Structure 1
Amino acid sequence: MTDAAWERIQPLLPATDGRGRPWRGHRQVIDGVLWRLRTGAPWRDLPERYGPWQTVYERFARWESDGTWAALLKHVHVRDEAVGRVEWTVSVDSTVNRAHQHAAGARKKRSPDEDKLEDPQRSAARQALGRSRGGLTTKVHLAVDGRGLPLSIVLTPGNVNDSTVFETVMDGIRVPRTGPGRPRRRPDRVLADKAHSSRVIRAGLRRRGIKATIPERSDQIDNRRRRGSLGGRRPPFDPEAYKHRNVVERCFSRLKQFRAVATRFDKLASRYEAGLHPGSLILWLRNSTA
């Protein structure tokens, strides 16, 4: 982590309450977390320069549980929005990431009898794992601003259709204001691919006053033409605006430079999502301190 990025987040980190042994330095621990995300190595293989691996992992898990990682990411959202840097043309898409065999078999806080009665597929879905021809996968859904920086992150099993999660992704956009007023939740325009082309999605965006730039699928075009005047009008589409949708693809490419994001090694979906938060935080800090 650069000095400029550290200065941005240092005041927001939890402070020790003065009881017990002093905490190991937060910067050293965060560097250890970022090293593990970058390499995808097991926590036990963490180099000694970052301190005991148990300390780094426990603080990483603690900050996931108490919402520290999410709060840090929200802080940079607020800071950039206050100075008008957030671009509210939002792009939505998803990527499927392979889950390593170590990601399967998360323990459940249930009795042995309850475990026997639970459907294995339902258990895997609860941890955002889906099985397909390629094996176990997790799908990461993102909504990014016009610069390609994450505003909303949602995890699902890899075999879930994008359109069924669209509303959840949009609901995750929530940028508080520094002054009075409610958090901003409505972008000016949404760019999405054909997987999100549905009447329900278009109607929902229209109801909220959000412009939609989503191309129609070929079967929808054929069905509308076949019905003639009953098929309705062609939905508006701006091809020039759609050219900017690739910012979400570039965001996925940058996030997948962290190998622990490109391949899921974590058994718990909450731990894997917690890794996406510091990865996204680094992208925001790099852009803000550039």
Structure 2
Amino acid sequence: MARRRYELTDKEWLIIEPLLPNKPRGVPRVDDRRVLNGILWRFRSGSPWAEVPERYGPSTTCYNRFVRWRKAGVWDRLLSAVPAGFNGELVMIDSTCVRVHQHGATAKKGSFDHGMGRSRGGLTSKLHALVDAEGRPVGLRLTGGQVHDACEAEALIADIPEGATLLGDKGYDSNAIREAAAARGVWANIPNRSNRTQRYGFSSWLYRQRNLVERFFNRIKQFRGIATRYDKDPANFMAAVKLVCARIWCAA
């Protein structure tokens, strides 16, 4: 059977396979590559888990393994292991809003942060990202859609190597962000807001590269299960984002 375009290539599988748990417990288990392709199909299509085609094995197996590996930190290790060629000289920061589907908006209220909030687009989540000079993800954060971009910037800046240049739009023009960047030896090439009294140096030529972070968002949103959030649990949604991001690194 021919490989479908959203399934893992041989190159991607060669990189990912050694990073997956491999402890069979007596009962023969569904092939990991087959299950991963089923997980990717679910997020690519945005369909319910129950509609995962039989060619990928039982849908319950795809869901259970996805959640079990998320709890075991497999998706985190996968994303942290593959970026061996991180280009840290130039990094871009930005965020994108993700509409929360009605199926994902039924989580029980309480002290638990579901990463959802009201914004102009209704109930949304916001994905904050830091990408390198090749448009590959370096850092990710999830908040409610009403959270300002600058609120997550300092946490993402902690992932930037010393001596790098940070590109961001005017939403990141704050003294706190510039100071956090400077503390790491990072130059924040951010346009000055019109009401700023203390002006900072800015290169419009370098700033043109910031579109790479927009391309990154467009790329991951080709997966309908990421462009629209169907998952109640923010950890499951972020696990899917990390899996797709790992594929971006594998394809580099």
- C-alpha deviation, 1:201, in angstroms: 0.9
Give, in angstroms, the shift of residue 187 of structure 1: 5.6
| Amino-acid identity (%) | 42
Deviation at 1:20? Answer: 3.1
Aligned 1:229-248 pairs, distance under 5 A: 232=198, 234-248=199-213
Instruction: In structure 1, list runs of 5 or more residues that go unmatched.
Output: 108-114, 174-183, 225-231
The residue number in structure 2 matching 1:34 is 40
Report the TM-score when normalising by structure 1. 0.81
Aligned to 2:21: 14
- Counterpart of 2:186? 210
Q: Aligned residue for 1:277?
A: 242
CA contact (8 A) 1:73 1:278 kept: yes
Q: How far apart in 2 are the matches of 1:103 and 1:6?
A: 30
Residue 44 (structure 1) aligns with:
50
- 2:3 alignment partner in structure 1: none
User: Normalising to structure 2: TM-score of the pair?
Assistant: 0.93
- Are 2:103 and 1:127 equivalent residues in the alignment? no
Contact 2:163/2:185, CA 8 A, preserved across alignment = no
1:42-191 pair list within 5 angstroms = 42-77=48-83, 79-81=84-86, 86-107=87-108, 118=110, 126-171=113-158, 173=159, 185-186=161-162, 188-191=164-167
Q: State how far apart, in whole Å, the 2-side matches of 1:35 and 1:238 are.
A: 42
CA distance in 2, matches of 1:129, 1:93: 18
Q: Distance in 1 between matches of 2:219 and 2:48?
A: 21
Shift of 1:87: 4.2
Residue ranges of structure 2 left out of the alignment (5+ in a row):
1-7
Output one character per residue of 1:210-249: Cα deviation in whole Å (capped at 9) or x when no partner.
Answer: 11100011222xxx2xxxxxxx4x2011111111011000
Q: Which has the higher helix share?
A: 1
Equivalents in 1 of 2:77, 2:162: separation in Å?
20
* Cα displacement (A) at 1:134: 2.6
Match of 1:209, SS state, is: coil
In 1: Cα distance, 2:35 partner to 2:163 partner: 35
Aligned length: 245
SS in 1 for 2:195: helix
The CA distance in 1 between the partners of 2:46 and 2:140, in whole Å, is 20
